[in-house]
Structure 1
Amino acid sequence: MSPIANTKRVTGGFALIDSLKRHGVKHIFGYPGGAILPIYDELYRAEAAGGIQHILVRHEQGAAHAADGYARATGQVGVCFATSGPGATNLVTGIATAHMDSIPM
C-alpha cells in the first residue's frame, strides 16, 4: 500500500492551528472575516478543547499591537489574525513595529 493511502487529509486551517499549538502558542489576537473563517472554525475547536485562547479585538490594527505587546511582555510569540484585503493591511503597522524591534511575532 502506498504511503499516500495511509495519510490523513486535513484542512489548511487545521494544519495552521495544530502547528501553532505544537509551537506552544496559547493566545491569538484577531478579528474574524470572510476569508479567514475556515481558520476560525479550527480555532473555535481548539479553544473548546482547552487549547489556544482567542482574544477578540475591535479592529485589526489592535490585534497586531496586542500581539506585539503580548510578545514584549511575555517573551512568547505574538500571533494575530485578520481577513484578507483591508483586514490584512490594517495589521501592517503593528507587524512592522515588531519587526523593527526584533519582537517575535
Structure 2
Amino acid sequence: MLLTISLITILIALIVMFLASILSKKTILDREKNSPYECGFDPKGSARLPFSLRFFLIAVIFLIFDVEITLLLPIASISNIANIFSWMFTSILFLAILLLGLYYEWIQGALEWSS
C-alpha cells in the first residue's frame, strides 16, 4: 500500500515537472527582447558585468553562520528542561564544530577581503 502511494506520488511529480518544462519554453527568440533595456536607448556597456567572487564567498559564509546562530538560539531555552550533562555536551560539541569551521575559513584566507 505504502509502495503504491509512493510510486503514484513520484509519477505525478514527474508528469508535472515534464509538463512544466514543455509549457514554459519560449519558442520565439528576438534580439531586441534579449538585449538590455535602458530607457529606449542602446546600452552603453555590457549588461552582464562580472561580480567579485570574494563578495559572493563572504555572503555565503555569512548565510551559513547566520543559520548556525538560529540553531544556537534554542539551546538557551531548553537548558531548564534538559539533562544538564547532555545539554552541556551537546552545546560544547556544537560550538566546537562552529569554531573549527570558523578557524578553517580563517586559515584558508576566506575572511580576508583584500588579498
TM bin (shorter chain)? under 0.3
Q: Rg bigger for which structure?
A: 2
Greater relative contact order (Cα 8 A, min sep 6): structure 1 or 2? Answer: 1
TM-score (norm 1): 0.23
